[in-house]
Chain A
């Protein structure tokens, strides 16, 4: 009995150590309104891979706050196919579903097979397989976590996605991209001057951002696969706050060449500049609605920073935010139904507005939050927070219940942006 206990402890600590190798570690506080109990059995042969799949699936589902994962060590012997499951034991452990699978060599790589079984009915809810190379195993695990998430919660998953952010260490700025769980970070750009506002193109192939390499803000577009980059807006004065149109062909940008901050549209190659906003001294932080019909933005035309909305041709501006004296940095949810933004409500905090009811909920209680963006499934909001003067990334569920904090090893992490689901 003692040996079994020791083995369980060892297995658990191995699970933890795989998390500790992340470039950023993630702490989770809070749980969702309901938690689905799921058993995840280690996949056959997965420990022969450099990256085992079930620890990643476990971390993804646990981090969402919506799942209670029942440990692998509690299910022995470990089943590797539906016929091997001991339903009585599994149900007794409190699980409602079980994920099982296997990894087998196949045609120059591997084949990953996965089942999600409903334990009460004994029916497979998902039966899935794909081919993958050794280096793709993390990606496959995130895909499986997304499949489980969609099947059980009814909402799309967002585990198989990436985030972009700026890491500042002393006088060095790095624009980095990593998986949504903080693994696999790569520096896209390294600079001695500030970099700001990374924004993902809708297809995830490019980032637009603001670089101060020319001693003033200039908007660049950067192709991730090739490293090719070009100026999308480098006019006299400041050029900043890029936002992609939903079809990926245009950027809304803010230029000051007219004498005040105004919103313009420009093709992503920098051609065909058109002015959209006029009047007031500050019109900035444009964000398109997902259907492309509207641009939400921040304006001081009413005397303080508030959120407004105009048609995407610049006509018909209406005010959207009415609570408090400072509302800015608005972004739309992927389904267009909600707005996240920063409100000054004690401190600068992340808020969410239901666009049909115009009801606002403040989701955080910190002092200096910034840069909120929705996950591609609209369920979580990624943002920048400050702890002890240092920038950290954090996430909060759209109902405020689940909170995550992502801690980088060193430096200030700022200006995060959540990218689309990877294909």
Chain B
């Protein structure tokens, strides 16, 4: 805790000393440009240095909260296995990433709400994961970059049986290989 407080003070002092707030990167590991003065698009997405986390923390595009790629959940309507139009942009963004990073692999985890039998819900969750996979296939991502698995009703985001809770449990999650999971 002491270490964190000290670095907070240090970075606050540094920021205070600067005449204009230019983001400095004392421990930058991403290697990509952090300039934001030009208006032209850079070819790679800039990484963000987030000073609010106590220690300087560098995000990649997959975990940058400002990047759609950090969104990993596709929600589904009741009894439905179709990717809704409001999630197309998200799936397209992940397809683009996977197509430009051929070494990247994902696991699609399918989930259901708690209604029905647990074993059958494993199959329904699988269907949700597979529907995201099929959309990625159409967008050019091959199966060797994707594994689809199901958790059925076994790993709800929230406990409870109200319609609002059920809505939040019916989902597919995108997890990139190498990321920590629950």
Contact = CB atoms under 8 A, between A and B. Distances in A.
B123 interface: yes
Contacts of A305: 116, 120
Contacts of B159: 389
A414 B118 contact: yes
A196 B119 contact: yes
B147 A236 contact: yes
Interface in A279-331: 281-282, 284-285, 298, 300, 305, 326, 328-329
Interface in B140-181: 147-152, 154-155, 159-161, 181
A300 B79 CA distance: 12
Contact of A260 (B107, B120, B122, B130): B130
B181 A196 contact: no
A298 B124 CA distance: 12
B154 A284 contact: no
A348 interface: yes
B147 A285 contact: no
Given A240-B122, A282-B123, A282-B127, A256 B148 contact: yes
A241 B122 contact: yes
B117 A329 contact: yes
B150 A212 contact: no
A217 B130 contact: no
A227 interface: no
B151 A212 contact: yes
B126 A261 contact: yes
Contacts of B148: 237-238, 256
Contacts of B126: 237-238, 256, 261, 282
Contact of B117 (A240, A282, A328): A328
Given A237-B148, A238-B149, A259 B118 contact: no
Contact of B122 (A217, A281, A326): A217
Nearest to B159: A389
A194 interface: yes
Interface residues of A, number: 37
Contacts of A284: 119-120, 122-123
Contact of A215 (B116, B118, B119, B181): B181
B117 A342 contact: yes
A111 interface: no
Nearest to A384: B118
B115 interface: yes
B120 A238 contact: no
Interface in B88-146: 107, 109, 114-120, 122-124, 126-127, 130
A215 B126 CA distance: 14
Interface in A85-105: none
A297 to B, nearest CB: 11
A135 to B, nearest CB: 36
A160 interface: no
Contacts of B107: 215-216
B120 A194 contact: no
Which of B109, B120, B147, B155 counts the most chain A CB atoms within 10 A? B120
A240 B118 CA distance: 11
A259 B120 CA distance: 16
A254 B123 contact: yes
Given A237-B147, A371-B117, A196 B154 contact: yes
Contacts of A298: 120, 123
B118 A370 contact: yes
A261 B123 contact: yes
A348 B116 contact: yes
B119 A329 contact: yes
B150 A285 contact: no
A370 B119 CA distance: 9
A238 B124 CA distance: 12
Contacts of A415: 118
Contacts of B120: 282, 284-285, 298, 305, 328-329
Contacts of B127: 260-261, 281-282
Interface string B35-68: 0000000000000000000000000000000000
A212 B154 contact: yes
Nearest to A173: B154
Nearest to B131: A281
Contact of A217 (B150, B160, B161, B181): B150
A64 interface: no
20 contacts: A194-B155, A196-B118, A196-B119, A197-B119, A212-B154, A238-B149, A261-B122, A261-B123, A281-B127, A282-B126, A284-B123, A285-B119, A285-B120, A305-B120, A326-B116, A328-B116, A370-B117, A370-B118, A371-B117, A389-B161
Interface of A: 194, 196-197, 210, 212, 215-217, 236-238, 240-241, 254, 256, 259-261, 281-282, 284-285, 298, 300, 305, 326, 328-329, 342, 344, 348, 368, 370-371, 389, 414-415
